[in-house]
Structure 1
Amino acid sequence: MSDAFGRIIAEQGLAVPATVARFHVAGSGRYRGRADITSGNLLARLIVRLAGFPAPGRDVDFEISTTPHGGGHVWTRRFGTRKTRSYLRYDSRHACAVEQFGPVAIRMGVQMQGEVLAVQVLGATFLGLPLPRLLTPQSASSEFQTPDGGFGFDISASLPLIGLLIRYQGSFDVPELR
């Protein structure tokens, strides 16, 4: 069962790199790699820590696991010893992905920009109530195939009045589907 992004990719007929397609079609798995993590100012670091994300670091051990649950997937990211979980599902009404981090839900869409799958934030809610643009996280996130065939990622989140909250970049291997 592919994840929400896999469903959007299929429905839109996006020509994504093979490794990106394998990751989103797999439906479940555990993948290991390395990541660099940066963060913004002191307030941004506090928000990021409260949300369960790690402190800045270079060449950090990274693991992501995806597990089907209900109508979506639980995504567990581990940076060193720090874990964060989210729930990703497909929203058929808006034809988008929704990622839930506790009381915050972020609606996202994807599009191809050259060989890169770009992720855009379409909106957000807090406890089911729409957040104004000023409080909606923004993202400049992308997924791509690395030169050695790995899954590359460059994920960031920022807030209009605060600036960069977190950015993590790295890669991991996605084995061939059996």
Structure 2
Amino acid sequence: MDRALSTPLFRRLLGTRFDTLPPQLRALHAIDTQATWRGEASILRGTNPLARLCAAMTGLPPSRHAVPTTIVFSIHDDAETWARDFGGARLRSRCTARDGFLHERLGPMTFRFALDARDDEIHWRTAGVRLLGVLPLPARWFADVRCREREHAGRYEFLVEAAMPVIGRLIRYEGWLVPA
């Protein structure tokens, strides 16, 4: 296998900044074949009918508080598959690196994220979106789709927020994980 492809995805994208991250962030993003992490999440979905439609299209989980959460990370060649289970509500995505960006395919949408490691956190900022992999959508529609990852009290923590103009919040979910 090509050495570049055997290097963990986030290490490829963050370069030497990866080495400055707290241990739990490095551990979660340095998986070489497969790993399971478990924890808990709280999910708040938007209530606007268009927000509900968009959330359903991408398979986003329903609103719940303190739901048991499991994520299985699987590495295949140059891609990572994240199989999330929020108390029985499943959400799967596929992540790859291309042109210095993280590309995450979620349902019919492919998001292009710029990653930034600062203040012991990883921040994801939307840089582009395509529908069905080919139709570019206006980036400004997705300016409020972002993620923050960090370590707190020895656990990996995440916060994902997605909102769009006019329709408002699609989803906000946050929680923590530890290796299973």
Match of 2:167 in 1: 162
Find out whether 1:118 has 2:146 as its counterpart: no
Q: 3-state DSSP class of the match of 2:179?
A: coil
Distance 1:2 1:60 in 2: 33
TM-score (norm 2): 0.86
Q: Which residue of 2 aligns with 1:146?
A: 152
User: Is 1:129 aligned with 2:135?
Assistant: yes
Greater strand content: 2
Which of 46, 63, 67 aligns to 2:74? It is 67
Within the candidate set 42, 46, 69, 1:40 is matched to 46
TM-score (norm 1): 0.87
Unaligned runs of 5+ in 2: 1-5
Structure 1 outlier segments of 4+, above 4 Å = 11-14
Distance in 2, matches of 1:96 and 1:133, equals 14
Distance 1:99 1:2 in 2: 18
| Conserved? CA contact 2:72–2:84, under 8 Å | yes
Cα deviation digits, residues 98-146 of structure 1 (max 9, x gap): 0011321100111133222111111111121211135436323100001
Which runs of 5 or more structure 1 residues have no equivalent in the other structure? none
Cα deviations across residues 144-172 of structure 1 (Å, max 9, x unaligned)?
Answer: 0012x110001111112211111110001
Could you tell me whether the CA contact under 8 Å between 1:49 and 1:55 is conserved in 2?
Answer: no
The separation in 2 between residues aligned to 1:118 and 1:54, in whole angstroms, is 22
Q: What CA distance in whole angstroms lies between the structure 2 residues aligned with 1:67 and 1:13?
A: 20
The one-letter amino acid paired with 1:56 is S
In the alignment, what sits opposite 1:31? 37
CA contact (8 A) 1:3 1:73 kept: no
Instruction: Pick closer, same or farther for the CA change 1:14–1:106 going to 2, 3 Å.
Output: farther
Identity of aligned residues (%): 26
What is the RMSD of the two structures over their aligned residues, measured on CA atoms? 1.9
SS in 1 for 2:144: coil
Select which of 87, 103, 110 maps to 1:105: 110
